[in-house]
Structure 1
Amino acid sequence: MQVESSVRPTRSERIDLWTVIVVGAVAALITIGFAAVRLAGILPNSGVEVLVPFVNTPASLPIGPGGAAVDVEVDQGVLTVSGLPGSVVTFLALAVLVDAVMTLTIIGCLGIVCVNLMKGHAFSRTNPRLIIVSAVVLIAGTAFGSILQTMGANGALAAVSGGSFDGVVASGSIAPYFVAAGLAAVSVAFTAGERMQRDTAGLV
């Protein structure tokens, strides 16, 4: 017979969990709003702002005395482009959607974990599965979104330069992968707790 823990959290712990849920809800609304605004700027294909990465690219900026040009090296810049090819617009729009879906999925999974904790189901089998789903979605969403964004940025750069300037092969941060590893560790801890609880219940 499977026995599931039902240790009710204290009032202070419930307040903390509700705080996390409220913050997550606000973050979800911000994510939806940002995605809507970004898509509204991309889909008309007029004056589309595209963040483009560079690799130690020399440029002159008017940051000297009296606005004098100074030679610098830039690693990213924003291009404002109109009339992009349909494929580039698609890449940029999909990158926004992938990022939004990834964020909303993670918020939803962790929100359900908080609800389970408030119900006293700390070591149910559902919690580690939800955390693993969050980690997998974070890794897949980050990788796929980065690929789409890079393809869109390179397409915008090709449109501006007429294909005479080579874009970057890939770009992005490795921070999300460390976060995913941390989530996986938390899932392992929940699974170990659930197994320990099951073994202990078998001794009673």
Structure 2
Amino acid sequence: MDPNSVTATRLPSRADTVGIWAFMVAGTGIVAWAVVGAVLRITDALSSPEVRVLAEFAGTPAEAPIGPGGAPVAIELDRAFLFTDELPGPSLVALVLSEIAFAVSVAAVVACLLLLSASTLRGRVFSRRNTRLVATAGTAGLVGAAAVPFLANMVANGAFARISDGEFDNVLMSVDLMPFVLAAFVVAIITTAFAVGERLQRDTEGLV
């Protein structure tokens, strides 16, 4: 018996097929949202007279009108939006790159998962190609998760420098490694599972 004929009969059920197609449609929408959002944010930063930048603060005291009758109350800032009429050149480049990195990483992850879903619809889950797709999706997600906040921090520091003429020192770049370690572990486990599944399926087909 032809091994290909065996794998061809292992097609997903109708309910699974509907679910996979729904996942693929949602994935396409996510990519469109990421790309359009990135283009709009880049366009706004390059053309708007005022640039809006999200910045993190290191225990900076401030006041907010949250008391009785709108009275100011002392608070401690954790993060806030800064508004500046202009960003330094390197920070503007970092802003554009951060949006591109976000859109590209999202598109890469979703594209790999869509190709994996298409392969599943054809009844082929474990294969060398699918193992590479899983590994690529995980790597793209990890790279994007690291690059985007790093570049965003450069943008925020440029906004701080522009607003305060370099007098306000709020350089803050805190990185919690545990989520990245856990994410890398999950990616490694899933990739390994697909690699093992590929070998088992290949061995099973060899016995038919």
Q: TM over 0.5: same fold?
A: yes
User: Are the equivalent residues in 1 in contact too, given 2:56–2:172 (CA < 8 A)?
Assistant: no
- TM-score normalised by the chain length of structure 1: 0.91
Alpha carbons of structure 1 residues 99 and 177: separation in structure 2 relative to 1, 3 Å: farther
Q: 1:104 aligns with which of 107, 115, 120?
A: 107
User: Are the equivalent residues in 2 in contact too, given 1:45–1:84 (CA < 8 A)?
Assistant: no
Matches within 5 A, 1:66-85: 66-85=69-88
Which amino acid is the alignment partner of residue 197 of structure 2? Answer: G
Q: Distance in 1 between matches of 2:132 and 2:70?
A: 57
Task: Note if 1:138 corresponds to 2:127.
Answer: no
User: Are the equivalent residues in 2 in contact too, given 1:91–1:148 (CA < 8 A)?
Assistant: yes
Cα shift readout 1:147-202 (whole Å, capped 9, x = no counterpart)? 11111110111111111112234146764664453233222211111111122233
Which amino acid is the alignment partner of residue 203 of structure 1? Answer: L
RMSD: 2.0
Task: Note if 1:189 corresponds to 2:187.
Answer: no
- 1:95 match: 98
- 1:202 match: 206
Cα shift readout 1:107-164 (whole Å, capped 9, x = no counterpart)? 1010000000001111111111111111111111221222111111101111111111
- TM-score normalised by the chain length of structure 2: 0.90
Task: Note if 1:56 corresponds to 2:59.
Answer: yes
**More helix, by proportion:** 2
User: Are the equivalent residues in 1 in contact too, given 2:52–2:83 (CA < 8 A)?
Assistant: yes
Which ranges of structure 1 fall in alignment gaps of 5 or more residues?
none
Number of positions where the alignment pairs a residue of Structure 1 with one of Structure 2: 203
- 1:124 match: 127
Q: Distance in 1 between matches of 2:102 and 2:152?
A: 10
User: Are the equivalent residues in 2 in contact too, given 1:60–1:70 (CA < 8 A)?
Assistant: yes
Task: Note if 1:168 corresponds to 2:171.
Answer: yes
Which ranges of structure 2 fall in alignment gaps of 5 or more residues?
none
Which amino acid is the alignment partner of residue 151 of structure 1? Answer: M
